[in-house]
Structure formats: structure tokens, C-alpha cells
Structure 1
Amino acid sequence: MTPRSQQIQEVHKMLGQLFIFVFLISTSHSCLLLGGKVQETLVPNGEPFFVRCPLEPPVSDNSYNITWFINGSKTEISTDLQARIHQDSNHLKFFPARLEDSGFYLCVYSGANGCWQEVLQVNVFQNDNGLCYKDEALYTYLLFREKSLRIECPDVTDYVDPATAQFHWFKECEPLNMTTGKYLMIKQFLSITNVIPQDNGKYTCVTLFIHNGTNYNISRSITNTIRELPLTVKPNILYPTDNFIDAELGTSVTVTCEALLNSNLILTWRYNESFISEYSDDGRVIEEIQYEAVKDGQKVACQNITFSSVKEEDYGLRFYCSADNTLAYIQAFFILKRPGPNLQGLLIAIFVTAAFLIITTIIIIKLFKVDLVLWYRSSCFSHPHQNDGKMYDAYIMYPKNAIGNCTYDMDLFVLKLLPEVLEKQCTYKLFILGRDDLPGQAIADLVDEAISQSRRLIIVLGQVSNETNLGVDFEQKIAMYDALIRNEIKVILIEMEKITDCTFMPESIKYIRQKQGFVRWKGTFTEASLSPNTRFWKNIRYRMPPAPRHSDKDLDYISTGNL
């Protein structure tokens, strides 16, 4: 609008106000004039239009009367419903409105409670050249951009029923293509999907209105302005989270409400829809001033609530933190509860005790493994009976070509001590070559058969074994084949003395010695060494298969001693 046109418009307004003043003086109505600024109604030329009297009668007044006057005339407007301009109750109706109908109209209300009057200005306009609307008469819609928007064809429900009326929509006076799926019509509403900035513009809706057999068009034009959503987002409360908080009776507790900071955010603590200040009369529950902080790299708004001394009545109640901004209002609560029993000390004690028992058990098993196994074999839980079909519990292999005292000690140990303890006292059955073979038997076959019929292979080593072969050459080969290749027999190594040089020891014996270990004889050839409950014989019995059950008391008929 140019400055010249603005000046002309201001002059017209001044003249209009002057006309109203003259009009009111010239009227003879003695009713009280209401209103200050004159209400202006814009009416499209050639279309029917209803102007409503703003004076609403009281519900209790059934004898009221509303009368319309025009342009200072003392003659009321016709009530003939067939007239082009007529009054119908509190409406002034135009069928249709014409440019010459522009002017000031007086609505007079008289009833049992008094008399009032109000002036209205009707301005019948012509659309702008070449357009289907007039800029000054546009309805204004300001919408925020979302996935879909809805525009209403305004002020048409007094004329047609939106459920049955047919609406036509135009944008910039061009018909909308309703077949693309972008636009949908629901009654008097136009829905726009997949909204983009190009959906801004001027929209016009047109519908048909029939009066006294004459068809009229009713049109409304809207300017639609779509804006991006403001930076303000909906509130997001980080804490509390509808959770419980442990609080000892009589202690002081502070709870902080935290929410992501955005514009116009206000945090308040409430109880039962009331401010927290109304919760307690003694002032022990205090809401502090809202402040800002940084948490995990994000700015948050914080609001503290402090219970100076928790009382019994505080337990089980919901205390709400409310977050409010221009978009939404949300809240979250917490509940105070008595803390449960502290089981941390008990759990630590149980864990330490269990760890101690486990470690102690492992140490006991490690130190007394041999004794525990032997005790188990002698208990009622053991089933020592052998069902493997073997004849011998052990095959004894030892050097047979030693010289000097070594031969005497070796023979004494093998032929005297082993049978005395293992056979007589422990009821094992041994096979000793040279003692259990018969004259004339084939030695090789006998050895092979005896080893295959034995559950253990006992190899007795001495220092002399470093320089000589163990037993007969074929005996050693058969024994090592069964022990290492077939893996059908377990080996028990007994060292008569400490072996310091293993240079001449057979590789097979070295391998068994390294893999399975050995038992060293440290005793003397005395009666005490015949007790099966000495450490040496317990280690031998541990490596032997279970024997028929005998208690240690039955075996210990000779006093024990440390060998």
C-alpha cells in the first residue's frame, strides 16, 4: 500500500467516525449505547451474508425484541423473509449483499431488563482485479510446519451443513488437484500432507447455498503462512523417574529435579496438585530456587526439594516434579521409603567364610590326598572288588644283574618287603619273575602273559640301573610296550636311593619318571618298615588299585615309623 492510499484510508476512517457521531445524534432512540470501537464486517459482493447482532439476550428474558436500523433511518429494516435485506431475529441477512449496502447499521435490543443499542459497520467489497479474493478481507492462518496441516473454510456453518455440503478449493485462484493424494477434504476442512514451504499461499473455498430456489456461492479466502517449529522443544525430565528413594526416619534428604534446559522451562515441586509449600505447616519441606547446571555435557535445569527431617507421614507419598514450557506440561514423581536391612556386611562375611573354607579344603585335599583316598577305599562307600578279569594286582620288574651289596638290598626289598607288606598285609597279588614262574616255561610268553594279566607295573630302580638294563631285555621291552604304546597298564616307579645321574637310564623310564613321578624308599630293613601305614607304603597303596577292604588298625600290627 502506497503512502498516498494510506492517507486516503485514514481520512475515510475519520469520516466514518464523524458519521457515526452524527448518526447517533440524529437517532431518537433513548437506549443506552454500548461498545467503543465500531465492529466492522467485510461482506463479499454478490454473496449472501448474515450479520449477527452482538447483543445477546439473557436466558431469563423471553420477551426481548431486537430491531435493526440503517444509516440513521428511524424506520426499522423489514422482517419480510422474502426481502433482499431483512432481519431475522438477531441476524441481519443479505440475499445477496451489494456494494451500495455498505454503511452503518444499528442493532437495538429492548427487553424487560432495559434497552441497549450498538453500531456495526458493514463493508461490501469487490475482489481485487483478476483475483478471487481481496487482500484486506483474507482470513489469516499462522501454522507451524508439521507432516500434515489442516485449513478450515471459516464462517460457513450458519449457511450450510458441512457434513452434506460440497466444497471446492483453490490456491491462488487455481483449482487444486485433488487426485494426487496431497490434499484431502473432510467436511469444511482441507488437509495438506507432506508439507513443504511451497504450501504457503492464498487458499479459497467455495460452496453452494440455496435460498428461495436461488443458487448462491459462498466463498472464503485464507492466507496460509507456514513457519518452522520454534526452537523450544517439549520438556524432558531426567530425574526423578517415578522411582523410590531410601530415607532414614529423622534424616535430612534433598532430591534434585533435573530436566533438559530449553526456553521458558519452569520446574516446580507439587503434591496433590498443590505447590509443595502447602504440604507441611512447619516449613521442614523447602523448595529451592531453580538453577542451571551441566550434566554429561548437556545443560539442565535443576530444582531442589529438601526434607529437613523425614517424618513417618512422608513415606509412601508421591512428590511430583512438574516441567512446563510453551509446548507441553509433564511431570515425574519419587516416593520416600524406609531403607531395607544392610546385607553388605553379612554378604562379605559369607563370602570370606566360603573362600576360607574352599581354600582350606583345597589345602587339606592337597596335603592329605593320599590319606583321604585310602580312607575312602576302606569306608563303606567304596567298592574295591575287581571285575576286570586280571589275575595280578602288580607285576614287579627290577634289575637282576646288579653286583655286590646292591644285589642283596634289591633282592631283600623285592623278594622280602614287597610280598610281606603288599601281599600278606594288604592282600594284593604280585607277580615276580624268578619267584612265580615254573621251570621249563617259555620266559618270553610267560612275561607277556603276566604283564597283560596285571593291573599295575612296579619298576624298582637303583643307582645300578644307570649302568645295566632293567631285568631281562625282552621283559623291559614288553613292559614298556604295554605301558606306553598300549597304555593298558599304569606304572609305579620306586627309587631305592636318590638317582643323580640319569645318563644311562632308558628313555622310556625317563619319560615315565618325568610324567608320573616316583616314590623313594628312605627306610631301613627293620620291623618298623613293614608297617603299611608309613608314608612310603601309603604312597604305594595310593597308586595301587583298591584292595579288599581292611582297616588301618588291622594293618598296623607293627608300630609305625617314619621311613
Structure 2
Amino acid sequence: LFLQECKPKMWRSVVIQKGNTLLIQEVQEEDGGNYTCELKFEGKLIRRTVELKVTALLTDKPPKPLFPMENQPTVIDVQLGNPLTVACKAFFGFSGESGPMIYWMKGEKFIEELEGHIREGEVRLLREHLGEKEVELTLIFDAVEEADLANYTCHVENRNGRKHASVLLRKKDLIYKIELAGGLGAILLLLILLVTIYKCYNIELMLFYRQNFGGDEAADDNKEYDAYLSYTKVDPDALDRDNNEEEQFALEILPDVLEKHYGYKLFIPDRDLIPSGTYIEDLTRCVEQSRRLIIVLTPDYVLRRGWSIFEMENRLHNMLVSGEIKVILIECTELKGKVNYHEVESLKHTIKLLSVVKWKGPKSSKLNSKFWKRLVFEMPGKKKEVVSRHQVLDSAEQGLFGDLQTVPSLAVTGTSATLVESRADLSDYHQADSVHMRHYCRGYEYDVSAATLPIASISNHHTYCNIPLTLLNGQLPLNNAVKDPQEFHRNNPLLPLSAKELSFTSDIW
């Protein structure tokens, strides 16, 4: 009778018992253990026990280094003076030998032949299964010295052959400096790249962030206009090529792009202000209702001290000095040498919140130019709403007279006034000369009697026109065709004006 671990067992089919013999045809791992044989001899029960050890198949290969890896030298950076332990791990298949053979060498020398601060540790069994072993042998440095920086080889062998793997000790200071220099260099290059991108595209980046993640500045400030446009018209008799470009920019290009393309609402005094006896008060109110003050700075603006109103009126002056309103100064030309630039510098120092944008002629007129991007960035933050030209209504229909009806336009000169056909498409309009100027009218609840103006064709129709401000203020040209000036204004305390002065009008759309 055979027992396994002192217990009877039902043997599987490949285990055959014949008398006092137990035959295992296919040995498996679970077959290992203690086997006890019981038999009766001369009336006595005799037991004998034998241990069966199951192993893997006998290997025909040499051991395999696990770390360091074979044919792949490992570099270890070390700090001089510090202790160091380097482990060599290897796998030994079952060879029937008593123990694994593993050792370190430095060049052609065994570790026992080296300095006393270098030694080998004990061979440590990490894992064993069916006679196959994974072992470890450490190389120990009490304190790494300069002479220790070399190549060390771990050798493993059995009856089938030998394998080895190497470790190279390298001073850490050098590689540390190289890595530090490389890292700092990469950071510096990245910083230069980011600064370059920011310098070239800072406006575009900030506009992108503001349009996608910023708020709407006009949401809760209860102000009617995004900007107030301050500009001095040029004397028609003094127009030259440069002044003509500035005039076109200030009166056509600037309002057209900001209002029709970017959706801003501008207040332009010559266009939007209703003439009244409280001119300064009305201007002040309109500036207070604006989020920005745009000053188109030209030589004529400086010569005529176009900003004087902001200095004379206390409320406007306080708004500039205190920073209550942000000022955008558009310089159209190089002013130094043309005007007294000291006055311009004084104006800039007076304004607390000031941004200067330079307009460089036709090349700045393109919508993708830096000028428009910078100008839009200085304008109030709002979600961009690009409106097509066909969707844009006449600006009067969007402003104070939006609910009034269009009437034929009134063309006024220094000597006559006639009705002309209205033009819906303002882009087709070209000024014929400096004297004959177009004026746009809208129905308005103000009774203009036929006797007030020498215009018989409009009768008593209720209109509001952009007739010359001099006429509205009661001033007359020297060569006016009206026979009796008292019929025009019976209490006229002002001096008569010339025809050229009368030609300046206020375009109110």
C-alpha cells in the first residue's frame, strides 16, 4: 500500500501500482512530496518513506543575465564620495549543480583584488521553482572614488557556458551640468519663441481670448455709444493730397469699418448732434454716454486745437484727467516738424487712460492690418457681430431718427437751395466740388415755415436737414441773396460770414 503524505490516494490513470512498485508514467509538479510504503512482514506492519522531488527538465543553456542586460552596457551616474550598491541579477535553469556561479570583475581583476572599500555581497536567492533559480549578487562601494569610475562586469556560468553583462560608472557632476545646460537652453529657446510669438501676434491672441472668453463691456454700463469721434474738418480751399486722405479716413473709412464691419455704435458730432442753444452741454452729455473717446489727430486738429473743448468744459476735462473715459488717439501723420508737437505731448500727459494708434495711409485701410486689430482691441470688449453690407441700414435709421421717414435730400450752397434726389447707397456718392455739398434730411417734428428759408419747393413740410450750422445759428454770408436779412433772423447779434465759412456744414444722417 502506498500513501502520499501519509494519506491514501486515488491515483490517476497514468500512475500504476504493481505489487510493491509505484510507476508514474508522466511526472507532474503535484507529484512531488513524501511517499510511504506499507507492507506486512512476519506478522508485523513495516513502513518506509521516500521523498520525491520534481524538477524542471535539465537545461542545456548557460545562465541568462537579467540586470545589467547582456550586450547592452548600463551607464550609472554616481556622485563622488557617496556609497553605492550595484546589483547583478541572473536566471539559472536546472542543471543539477550544487549552486549558481555568479561574480563581479573590474577589467581582468576579481573584486577581491581591488581596494578594500569595494566588496561583493552575499548571493541571494530571489526565486526558485522546480530547480530553476533567480539569484542576485551586489557590488558594494563604501564611498565612490575617482579611480572607481570604470567598467564593471557581472559573470554568470554553469556547465553549459558563461554569460556576462557590464555596468559603466560615470561621474554625475558632468552629466548633471550637461543636462542642466540642455534643459536651461531648451527653456530659453521656448521662452524666446513664446516672446517672439507674443510680440508678433499679441493683439491677435488678446482679441481671440476676448472674443471667445471675455465679457461684454457694454452689457450693464447704460451708455448709448461705444465711442465719441472727435475730428476737425479740413478747409476745402486748403485741401491737398495728404489732407484729402485724412478727411476720407476720418469721415468715411473709420466710421464705415467700425460701425458696419465690427458693429460698434459711434457718435460723430457733425453727423449725429442736433443743433441747439446748448451746444456744449449736448456734447458733454454725448461724451458721458460714450465708452471711448476717439481723437483723430491731424495737423489741422493740432493747429485748430481741436481738443480745446475738453479743456474748457470742466466736466469733460475731469473725465480725461480722472480716467473716467478711455481715450484712443489716432495719429494720421508724422506730426513732428509740421506742428508744435509740445502741445500734443501736453495733451497726452493730461489724459490718464490713453492709447495711441498710428494710421499709416492706404496700407492701414486693409481690414487685416495691424491698425484695425489694435483699434478694435482698444475699443470696448463685445462679442463680434459682423454684419454684411446689405444688412446695414442707414445710420440715421439706427440712431435718434430711426422711426422717421426719408424725404428728398436738400442740397444747400451759399446762394441757393434745391431739392435733389435721395441716394440710398452712400458708397456710390462722390463729392463734386468743395462748395456744392449733399445734405440728408429726415422727417422731424419741427415746423419750418416757408418764410424762414428761401426754399419754396419744400413748403411747410416737417423736416430736419443738415443745413449749415451758420444758418441755424443766425449768421449770414456777406453776399447772401436774401434781400432783407431781418426776415432770416430778426434778432441777429452775430457778424455776417463769408461764403467759404458758410460752406462748412454739419452732416446729420
Using the size of structure 1 for normalisation, the TM-score is: 0.37
* Structure with the higher strand share, 1 or 2: 1
Using the size of structure 2 for normalisation, the TM-score is: 0.40
* Structure with the higher helix share, 1 or 2: 2
